[in-house]
Structure formats: C-alpha cells, structure tokens
Structure 1
C-alpha cells in the first residue's frame, strides 16, 4: 500500500524528460485499440456485382412489363384493322356513291410503305422507351386504316372479279404489316439479337405488297380478262401433263395434234423414260390410248376457246377506246362468261384425271355432258356482248366436234365392255 501511494504522489510531480519513474517503467505499455477489420479487395467487388445484378434484374422486369404492355397495345390496333377489312371484303359501298380512283389507293400505299421504313429503322435500331414505340404503332396503323377506307371507296360499282382482286391486294398489305409489327414487338420483348436482321426483312415484304398495288386492274373488264388468262394457264398446265402420258408414238395424228393443229411436244424418248417409272397396273390398253388421245385434243381445243374468248374481249376494249366505263354495262355478262370458262377448265381437268387406267367410260360421258352445257352457256353470253365473236364461235365449234368424237369412242367402249360381260357370263 505504501509503495503504491508513493508512486502516485511522485507521478503528480512533473519530471524532466530524462527521468524515468520506476512506476512508469513498471507499468505495461498502452496498446492502442485495434482498428476495425477492413474488407478484403475481393469483397467490395462482390458486393458491387451483386448490387448491379439486382439493379439489372429489376430493370429487366420493368422492360418485360413494358413489352407485355406493347403486345396488348398492338392487339387493339390489329383488331381494328381486321374489323375494317372484314367490312370491306363482305360488301361494296352502296350505289349512288362516287368511286375512289385507284390512283388514290396507290398514293396511300406509298405512305404505308414510307411509314414501314420508319418503323423498320426504329425497331431494329437502339430501342427507345415504350412511349415512343407506342407513338410509332399509332402512326402506322392510322395510315393503314386510311388506306383500307380508300380501298373500300374504290369498290363502288365493281364486279366480283375486280372486288376479289382489290381485296386480295389490300389483304397482302395488311398481312405484311401485321407480320412486321408482331415480329418487332416479339423481338422487343425477348431482346432478340436477331432483330436487326429479321425486321428489315419483314419490312421488305410491306414494300413489295405496296408496290404490287400498281399492278391491280383498274376496271372490271381488265380484271375479267386477267382472270381468263389464268384459266388459260391452268388449261395449258393440264395439257402439258397429259402430253407426258406414255400412250405411244406422238407421230400419231390424234396424239400429235389436236383438232386445231397444236403439236405434241413430248418426244418418244421422253415418253419411254417416263413409262419406265409406271407400274404395270398403269399400262394403257389400245382402247384407253384412243380415249386418252381424244381427251388431249379436247384439252387443246378448250385452251383455244379460252384464247379466242380473251381475244374477243380485248377487241371490245379496244373498240371502246379511252372512253371511261364504256363496257362497264356489260360486266355482268362478262362475269358469267368467265364462270363458264372456269367450269370448262374444271371439267377438262376431270377428264384428264379420268384417263388413267382403269378408265370409267360412264363417268367420262357425264363430264362430256357438262362440257356441252358450258359451251352452250358461253355461246349465249358471247352473243349478248356484240362485237365480232366469229373467232370465239369457230373455236367453240371445233371443241364440239372433238367432244363428239370422244363421245363416240366412249360409247364404243361401253358396248365392248357389255359384250365382254355377256361372253364371260
């Protein structure tokens, strides 16, 4: 106790720097408090990465939410366009209205094409915010809606063939536009890395659909003429396929030519090669070969009928000159004429399908009867149109003769078949 008191008293007195108190020497040195433990160099990086990942995840959720919002926003516009097109395709505007010139439709199509270019650049570039994308959708579909309304105005007074042509062209613009924005929104939602490749491609389909508007027929007569041309192409394909049948030497007068002198283009070597691939059950008997050659002639003569009918209608258009709507009062008759052409082509196709063994003569005779009905209808409608139908009438006469020969051959086949049944019985 005394030692501690003495030391305490001495410590109260100041000392020189050179003096060291025994109490001071004996006391343990003061240890400064340990500094707080510091994070290792890897810990702050890990914490920063975790924070960034959480931030990115939150941003992705916001973007996904925006994408879903865009899908719903787009769907309302798609439904509006579908409703408008449905109205347009079901009925034309009422009578008494002035028809919109097709040139106005083409102008609106050019605007759609330009707006598609803007959309393609926007959606394939650096993605903006949702509000900007919505504005682009609004702008595009407002123009598309106007395009459809102008198309509807162009349907005043049109016949079914021109109506179909206009509606089909408008549908191509709609379908390509829908494809553009559906894929654009999908790429936005999924953050697809291929959007810079896909979107320009679908934008190109919109351009093509808009450019095709310039080729749409502007009058009923032109539309009907083009439709008849398609019937001719259809018959030409049928004739080409039938000429490839392995039915013998093409030098035969019936196989080599139709009643109008159209030569068979299939060579003997070609036919030998094709017949090599046929099964034995497909071999033609002599009677079936004779029938098949006559059917080929019917197909060829039917093609000539369509060609002469087109030539006849072209003559009517030329005789009218530049008078707008000069032949429009004859549209109903021309539409009926087109229907008969299509029916004849369909019956020829049925005959072509019926020549493969075993042939059914009774079914083929029914088809021939329907062809006679079609020829009769064509004669009546051509007569109603006036003009100079001599070429068309001559082609119809040749077709009737050819059908008569086919009918006789089929009748002989039926008699032979009945005799064979009697003998076998």
Structure 2
C-alpha cells in the first residue's frame, strides 16, 4: 500500500505541475494590455467567477474532513479547481479593456491574491496525500480560509478608472493628513532650553546640564527655536491648504463617475493618470518639507519643495480645466495654497537659519 500511495503521490505532483505551468502561462497573458477592440468583461462577471473559485476551495477542504481522500477524487477536484481558476483569470484580463495603469494594477493585485492562496491550498493538498497525521490533515481546511478572503476581497476592487484613481488620491490625502498631524506636534523649546546669550553660556555647557527625568527621549532634538517655530507654523498652513486642495481634487474626480463609460477614450484616462501622478508627487514634496522642519531645519530643501508644489498646482489646474472646464470651486483651494506658499517663502527669506547653516558649513570645511 505504501508503494502504491507513493506512486499515486508522484502522479499527483506531475499533474499539479502541469496545472501550475498552465496558470503561469495565463498570468503572462494578463501582464499584456488587451486590445482596445476586445470585448470588455464586467467586474460583476469576474466576481461571480471568483465565487466559483471559492466554492471549489470549499470542496477541496471538505475532502479532508473525514478519512484519507481517494486518489481519484483529489485528481478530479484538482482539474476542476484549475479549470475554474483559468476561467477566472481570463475574465479578469477581459475586465481590463480600456483600463489605465492604476486600475490594471489594482486588478492584478486582487487576482494575485486569489492565485497565490489557491496555489498554497493545492500544493498542501498534494503534499499531505498519503499521510495519516490528524494535525497535518487540518492544515488543508485552514488554507481554504485565505482563498475565501481573497475571493471576497474582489468586491472591494475598483471596477473603473475613476474609482481606482480616486482611491489613489485618497491615499495621498491620508498621507498628507498624517504629516499635518505630526507637524502640529512640533513645539517651541521651553525657556529653560534656550541659551541665555547674556550669560555667555555655550551650547556645550547647556547640553551638559542634567535633564528632567520625566522628559521623553523622543522629544530630544525636536524642540524648535522661536525662528524655527515661525517657519514651522507657515509650513503647517501650507500642508493644511494642500490637504484641502487634494480633497477638492478628489471630489472633482469622483464627479467624473457620472461621465465615465466603458468606451472612454485613452486621452481621458491618460489625463486622469497624469492627475494622480501629480497628486502623488505633491504628497512626496509634503513629506520632504515635513522631514525638513526638525532641527536643524533644512531651509534650502523647504524652499525647493515649495517651488515644486507651486509648479504642481499650475499643472493640475490646467489638467482639471481641460477635463471639467473652469471651476470657482476648484480655484479657491488653488489660490489658498498659493497664498500660503507665498507666506512661507516670505518667512524663509527673512530667516537667518539658512545663513547660520551656511556659516557652520563653511567653518566645517575650513577645519578640514
């Protein structure tokens, strides 16, 4: 019996390898953009096929609830499972007709979760064939859960370019909101931390003074001088206005849901993709500015980031006007952000922090 079981397991492994190879070939097809003239599959059809994959996973798990499953039953279920998975992949590919990079990426990520969890389930099924350990047999039903979860997650996958891009912008808004929260935690140094210039106390002497035992190590080096605090306050206004800017942009994009149809042309999708890229670059610049506010503040980097943000606003405004026409609702946050950027620029130009940093750098270079 042992020899027969071993031979059957070898056969099952060969069959499994063949199925896996077919799925891998299909995945390579999915990496290619379907032609625009192809028939577009609705995401509802993809989800329905996902439900079938989930049911197939349940059937595989049921095989291991009793005694050792029969060789023929495993082979037949494996064939049925991979046929269903193959159909699921082909429908998923059909759903990306007319999809831009963002929507395609979201679809591929969801599909990958279904495929990966399916592979783990089927590989474990074959690896346990012929074993008689109760604990090992329990592993198969437990691997059904991840397949269910992956198939259920298909309901949350965006089905249109507008939805996918809107979510991408929402992620930027969340990131900017996090930066704003962290920036608001910056605080000025207490009077005890300021060096009394009239007493001639050096920075080294001040640093050597014992600190309050209740102070947190996380606070060390985060307290700002009055001048640094002014820069931070202006920067906080910029980030706050950036958040408002992104929110209005998101609402504008969501409004396009009433316009988008499966036959949307590529120029429409390209415009949306460009807006998302600009929005993401805006988020990166906000991250940079936030990181530069901690002492010693990096004034040149803050200036450079502010200038890039100003350029992004101008470009976004042009793109939005091409899609929606001129909008007072959108112009308001644009002008508000420009105003706060001008105020930050003014504060930076008046700041002696940059001059002090340059002086210290020159001293360091001279010493070398």
TM range (shorter): 0.7 to 0.9
Does 1:283 pair with 2:223? yes
* CA 1:64–1:358: 2 relative to 1, 3 Å: farther
* CA 1:139–1:423: 2 relative to 1, 3 Å: closer
For structure 1, which segment, 297-306 or 188-197, has the greater mean C-alpha deviation from structure 2 after superposition?
A: 188-197
Does 1:395 pair with 2:333? yes
Pick from 70, 74, 92: which aligns with 2:12? 70
Does 1:219 pair with 2:160? yes
How well do the aligned residues superpose, as a CA RMSD in angstroms?
Answer: 2.9
Whole-Å separation in 2 of the counterparts to 1:196 and 1:405: 67
SS at match of 1:188: coil
Whole-Å separation in 1 of the counterparts to 2:72 and 2:338: 69
Does 1:306 pair with 2:246? yes
What is the match of residue 209 of structure 2? none
Whole-Å separation in 2 of the counterparts to 1:323 and 1:86: 28
SS at match of 2:46: helix
Q: Is the 8 A contact 1:221 1:327 kept in 2?
A: no
SS at match of 2:128: helix
TM-score under structure 2 normalisation? 0.83
What is the match of residue 324 of structure 2? 386
**How far did residue 328 of structure 1 move?**
7.6
Whole-Å separation in 2 of the counterparts to 1:222 and 1:201: 33
Whole-Å separation in 2 of the counterparts to 1:306 and 1:374: 12
**How far did residue 354 of structure 1 move?**
1.7
What is the match of residue 205 of structure 2? none
* CA 1:241–1:187: 2 relative to 1, 3 Å: farther
Consecutive unaligned residues of structure 2, counting only runs of 5 or more, are 191-211
Q: How does 1:8-19 map to 2 (within 5 A)?
A: none
Consecutive unaligned residues of structure 1, counting only runs of 5 or more, are 1-58, 250-271
Pair member with larger Rg = 1
Pick from 81, 101, 119: which aligns with 2:23? 81
* CA 1:79–1:189: 2 relative to 1, 3 Å: farther
* CA 1:286–1:60: 2 relative to 1, 3 Å: farther
Q: Is the 8 A contact 1:351 1:367 kept in 2?
A: yes
Q: Is the 8 A contact 1:244 1:274 kept in 2?
A: no
* CA 1:77–1:323: 2 relative to 1, 3 Å: closer
SS at match of 1:162: helix
**How far did residue 381 of structure 1 move?**
0.7
**How far did residue 173 of structure 1 move?**
1.0
Q: Is the 8 A contact 1:125 1:196 kept in 2?
A: no
Pick from 170, 173, 178: which aligns with 1:232? 173
Pick from 284, 292, 297: which aligns with 2:237? 297
What is the match of residue 283 of structure 2? 345
What is the match of residue 370 of structure 1? 308
Q: Is the 8 A contact 1:312 1:389 kept in 2?
A: no
* CA 1:381–1:200: 2 relative to 1, 3 Å: same
Q: How does 1:140-289 map to 2 (within 5 A)?
A: 140-188=81-129, 190-247=131-188, 276-278=216-218, 280-289=220-229
Q: Is the 8 A contact 1:165 1:223 kept in 2?
A: yes
Whole-Å separation in 2 of the counterparts to 1:273 and 1:174: 54
TM-score under structure 1 normalisation? 0.72
Q: Is the 8 A contact 1:298 1:399 kept in 2?
A: yes
Structure scoring higher RCO (CA < 8 A, sep ≥ 6) equals: 2
Whole-Å separation in 2 of the counterparts to 1:172 and 1:397: 43
**How far did residue 228 of structure 1 move?**
1.4
SS at match of 1:194: helix
What is the match of residue 51 of structure 1? none
